Amino acid sequence: MTTSDHSVLTTKDIVIVDLVADTKEDATRQLAQKLVDDGRVTDLEGFLEDVAAREAQMNTGLPGGIGIPHARSSFVVVPSVAIGTTSVGVPFGALDGPANLIFLIAAPDGANDEHLHILAALARKLVHDDFKQSLRDAKTPSDVAKIITKEVQK
Catalytic entry in 70, 115, 117, 128: 70
**How many residues are listed for the chain in this entry?**
154
What pTM was estimated for this model as a whole? 0.92
pLDDT confidence of residue 58: 87
> Is 5 contained in some domain?
no
pLDDT over 70, % of the chain: 94
The CATH number given to whatever domain includes residue 61 is 3.40.930.10
Structure confidence by residue, pLDDT tens digits, 66-94: 999 999 899 999 889 999 999 989 999 88
CA 145 to CA 15: how far, in whole Å?
7
Distances (CA, A) of 23 to 34, 37, 61, 90: 17, 21, 12, 6
pLDDT confidence of residue 123: 82
> Is 112 contained in some domain?
yes
> Is 2 contained in some domain?
no
> Is 106 contained in some domain?
yes
> Is 1 contained in some domain?
no
Please state the rounded mean pLDDT for residues 11-30: 96
pLDDT confidence of residue 9: 87
- Tell me how many domains the chain contains: 1
- Asked if residue 100 has pLDDT above 70, the reply is yes
Domain that holds residue 93: 12-151
Has 70 been annotated as catalytic?
yes
> Is 85 contained in some domain?
yes
pLDDT confidence of residue 120: 82
pLDDT confidence of residue 5: 78
Local confidence band at 154 (pLDDT 50, 70, 90 cut-offs): low
Structure confidence by residue, pLDDT tens digits, 110-149: 756 666 777 788 888 988 999 999 999 999 999 999 999 8
